[in-house]
């Protein structure tokens, strides 16, 4: 099992026993990709949170921040 954290709080994890190892929000069976799909489709964060009440606002924001940091770390200067 792989758990990604920010400031020692678990945010997302990947476990072969949960949705075949899909990256999900800790304590849920909600794939992190679902959040990105909602936002990409024009939905708001509030709409996502209303549809997936097992995900907290803090988890969603932390996952977005984690994604931003991972992207920035892999970016190459122009």
pLDDT averaged per 10 residues in sequence order, the chain, 78 residues:
60 92 95 97 98 96 88 74
d(CA 47, CA 7): 26
Residue 40 belongs to domain spanning: 2-71
50 within domain boundaries: yes
Does 77 reside within a domain? Answer: no
State how many domains the chain has: 1
Q: Two tokens at 32?
A: 């992190």
Q: What's the pLDDT at 7? A: 56
User: What's the pLDDT at 74?
Assistant: 76
41 found inside a domain: yes
- Residue 7: CATH number of its domain: 1.10.10.10
The pLDDT value given to residue 8: 63
Residue 52 inside a domain? The answer is yes
- Whether 38 is in a domain gets the answer yes
Q: In this structure, is residue 9 part of a structural domain?
A: yes
């Amino acid at each position: 099992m792989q758990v990604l954290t920010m400031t020692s709080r678990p945010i997302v994890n990947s476990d072969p026993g949960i949705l075949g190892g899909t990256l999900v929000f800790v304590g849920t069976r909600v794939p992190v990709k679902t959040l990105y799909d909602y936002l990409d489709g024009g939905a708001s964060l509030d709409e996502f949170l209303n549809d997936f009440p097992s995900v907290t606002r803090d988890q969603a924001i932390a996952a977005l921040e984690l994604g931003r940091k991972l992207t920035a770390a892999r970016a190459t200067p122009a």
